[in-house]
Structure 1
Amino acid sequence: MEKTYLNSEPDLLLLVSQGDEAAFARLFHAYHQRLGAFVFQLTGSITMAEEIVQEVFIRIWEKKEKLSQVHHFHPYLYMVAKNYTFSFLKKLGRELEHKQQWELTLSASTDNPYEESTDACFRRIIDQAVAELPAQRQKVYLLSRDEGLRQAEIAERMAISRETVKKHMVLALRAIRSYALTHPESNLLFFFLLLK
């Protein structure tokens, strides 16, 4: 089954379900731009659409065994993306509401000149979370955040593929958000906004 699967989506899905990374890369390249355009229509944000598409494909890879039972990938992919996007937007709405409430509370209690500034507090927690990332993921994140490098530039500097850079960024952001949630002083996912 060397080259025959390239033109047959069911065979491609079967290979992905068995853990074939090359087949998954083909699936990703075949759909990621169209899916990005679809998600952009729902969110109105290119940055958000890119992150959601990456997250959707990571989830599909994590549950790849299910693909052997999928007969029509296009509708399946779009259903997963639509459901994830709506959940993402609802969550973001709740985060923004919590952020506004938190800012009102903070502004009512800013009499203490020794109190750590909000930005400094957020930065400290993010830095702690970044320090716990695996070395390569940490390097990708820091090259993006501190040096402002684009994904293609990071890939070139680190001699890894652009897809690997994207995957590291998505997983880094996910880990940082999870870390932030364990800290009472940042019990809102305002970090999502700060990490953009």
Structure 2
Amino acid sequence: MVLLFTPNTLCPSFLLFLFFKTNTALPGKDTYDDALLIQELRQNNAEAFIELYNRYHVQMYSWLIRFVKLPEFAEDIIQETFLKIWEIRHRLNPAQSFPAYLYRISRNKAFKSLKKISLDETLRKQVLIQFEIESDDPEKRLRWLQYQQLLENAVNRLPAQRQKVFKLCRQNNKTYDEVANELGISRNTVKEHMVKAMQDIRQYFYRYGEISLILLFCSPVLILY
């Protein structure tokens, strides 16, 4: 039996029920490609929706857990992503890559989670624990090197004077007063350069990094350069 629903009958709570409780399935579902499933989904076929969820859940989780680190956040993002897929089902193009839809939506939601984590000290510490930089784990050491490279790239993109101020403050551990005297500028100018440098670098991390690297940059105890 094919499950069909009108746009107003499939509420979020029932979607979650379908995700985890239903045993219904499309006949011959393994032979359905994504385009055919999307066509069915556009006709409010919940079984097609469930099949797409089951088909991509593990793949999404594997990507998201590397990005957000916390399992509960990864699962929440997956659920929110598929709820969004249901909401926009009539606008989905069967000719377009379904994983590309999932990637765009889940990435946007992951960055929203990032903002939430960055404002919550407990959550931030949980992520940083998952990314212990002194670990002997080769993957974590590699990611620490990625962080250092990302930071170097971000600093190199700063305007010359701002870059000089940032390096003197962070690399040479000089005070604002010391930097002001060395460069012949006011202390307030040094402070303005540092504020703008941090904003520029943070934006670079948001654009090119992932959550663990961004949170490392945001950590007040981390030596940045």
TM tier, smaller: 0.3 to 0.5
Decide which structure has greater helix share: 1
TM-score when normalising by structure 2? 0.39
Larger Rg: 2
TM-score when normalising by structure 1? 0.44
